[in-house]
Structure 1
């Protein structure tokens, strides 16, 4: 039995309808009929019971379906692995993410693993106060970062998801009792300072001026996310964060407030332009495919 005939048999066993099977395989219904009749002659028994109302597997057909399914999947995996190797989409891809954002894009990563079974994803944690550090050092191949990223040597890929911007404060802070704030309220606060973070990226969460032009004071510098949580919970400063932070870092002593007039924060794949590889491009293409699918799930759906 040839591989195409096996594909026809397995597809018909799933669809149990000659017309749908023909559409699925992009062949004519007569081609499906001829292939099944040929298989039945070779085996010497009927594989399907056909009536005007239904198509069903015979007991011998059911046995053949069980035996062929596992072997066919193994053959397909072997072909896909060889194709991945030929395209250069095998090997290790080191992905840098911040906090819970690997969960926020889990649907993209799951599809990437399905499409490229020979590739292996390796994860590194990016510290928000120094978001470009691991990219610059080469410790990650591609990073999930908030926008904008306007570096001449970096490529910004597809947007993966968006987040609401919240204000993280100590539960003793005067704002902690409010339902929400506006950006103008930051003029009465001190905000945390990042380490090696471009000012334009820092503006997304901790602007330098209010909409009315009042300067926003800077507090202590932090170099890790843990330090940020500590200094905010102590009441020294406040910090702009994403809504995922409120879900995953519900520390004692912290409160999270919606910022009514803050723009949504976009997250995208970013990589070193000079070091782009087929594996990085494969991940970007996967993200594009997910972005074009309606109602893509988020980590809150799992």
Structure 2
């Protein structure tokens, strides 16, 4: 198997979905299918069972995955260590899905570069509709995003901050004059959010029913957060957001209302399970250590807090 065939097989073995595997690999679905067929012909037996509803590994496919994955990831890690040992200038690429994350990463990057002047830190915005795409395409080394991030090929670091949930409504909405809201107030409303979010993430953050059992509808048709805000302002629905949204995205046509009965949003760093370079590991440590001191003073610190350090 050449390198591309190895990567295609391992990605499909994780995703068990040709479309998602193609997205991660930035190739067509037909190309994924073609490479898998090539490998299966070479081996002489199927590696995947395919039906109209699901894709699963055959026993031979499981055997190959378990034998191949450690070597594939080990080669990637070895290359990263070799580059670091060679003393070459390294570029770390960090992504963020939320504006406070960009502020915290910028502050950490300034401190990090003072200690490692040969290392450059580049920051890029990551859209909610494609939270892991740039990471999986190796365009980013890590991403500062909303938890949960339960992905078999990724690693989640510790929670670095918590931000209260708020409800975003247009000024014309009946709830706009309230000082706070509860899940019960969402009965028969339509919650707007970005498309492409995993089911487990939606279920964690977006209730589907009130405590009394009344439905709360979801609409996931927009790729970008700013488009969600425009649709809310136009009266086409309401949205759940983090409290920082009211600070970084103020609009005269929107009102941000705190929830009385929803837990806060937790944030942290995520990177590939194949590992970080030594410089990447050091940067994660810098972000973790500086997180409590890098929030802008203008942000509401009662709504946004860092987790308590572990005992001991």
Common fold by TM > 0.5: yes
Deviation at 1:144, TM superposition (A): 0.5
The residue that corresponds to 1:113 in the other structure is 113
Instruction: Give the Cα–Cα distance (whole angstroms) in 1 for the partners of residues 175 and 88 of structure 2.
Output: 50
Please tell me whether Structure 1 or Structure 2 has the larger radius of gyration of its CA atoms. 1
Instruction: Give the Cα–Cα distance (whole angstroms) in 1 for the partners of residues 112 and 102 of structure 2.
Output: 13
The residue that corresponds to 1:299 in the other structure is 296
Runs (4+) of structure 1 exceeding 6 A deviation are: none
TM-score, length basis structure 1: 0.65
Alpha carbons of 1:274 and 1:86: their partners in 2 closer, same or farther (altered >3 Å)?
closer
Q: How does 1:55-204 map to 2 (within 5 A)?
A: 86=85, 90-100=89-99, 101-204=101-204
Alpha carbons of 1:212 and 1:89: their partners in 2 closer, same or farther (altered >3 Å)?
farther
Deviation at 1:90, TM superposition (A): 4.2
The residue that corresponds to 1:17 in the other structure is none
Instruction: Give the Cα–Cα distance (whole angstroms) in 2 for the partners of residues 240 and 109 of structure 1.
Output: 30
The residue that corresponds to 2:24 in the other structure is none
Instruction: Give the Cα–Cα distance (whole angstroms) in 2 for the partners of residues 212 and 130 of structure 1.
Output: 34
Q: Which runs of 5+ in 2 are unaligned?
A: 1-82, 300-312
Instruction: Give the Cα–Cα distance (whole angstroms) in 2 for the partners of residues 118 and 288 of structure 1.
Output: 21
Instruction: Give the Cα–Cα distance (whole angstroms) in 2 for the partners of residues 156 and 146 of structure 1.
Output: 11
Alpha carbons of 1:297 and 1:135: their partners in 2 closer, same or farther (altered >3 Å)?
closer
The residue that corresponds to 2:269 in the other structure is 269
1:205–1:239 CA contact under 8 A, matched in 2: no
Deviates more, 1:260-269 or 1:95-104: 95-104
TM-score, length basis structure 2: 0.63
Instruction: Give the Cα–Cα distance (whole angstroms) in 1 for the partners of residues 264 and 251 of structure 2.
Output: 24
1:105–1:298 CA contact under 8 A, matched in 2: no
Q: Once the two structures are superposed, what CA deviation does each residue of 1:110-163 show, in whole Å capped at 9, x if it has no partner? A: 322222222111111111233223223322211001111111110001322221
1:144–1:267 CA contact under 8 A, matched in 2: yes
Which secondary structure state, in structure 2, belongs to the residue aligned with residue 179 of structure 1?
Answer: coil
Q: Once the two structures are superposed, what CA deviation does each residue of 1:197-254 show, in whole Å capped at 9, x if it has no partner? A: 1122224442223344433112351111221111111111111111111001112311
Q: How does 1:185-264 map to 2 (within 5 A)?
A: 185-219=185-219, 221-264=221-264
Alpha carbons of 1:209 and 1:112: their partners in 2 closer, same or farther (altered >3 Å)?
farther
Figure out how many residues of one structure are paired with residues of the other and give that number. 216
Alpha carbons of 1:184 and 1:89: their partners in 2 closer, same or farther (altered >3 Å)?
farther
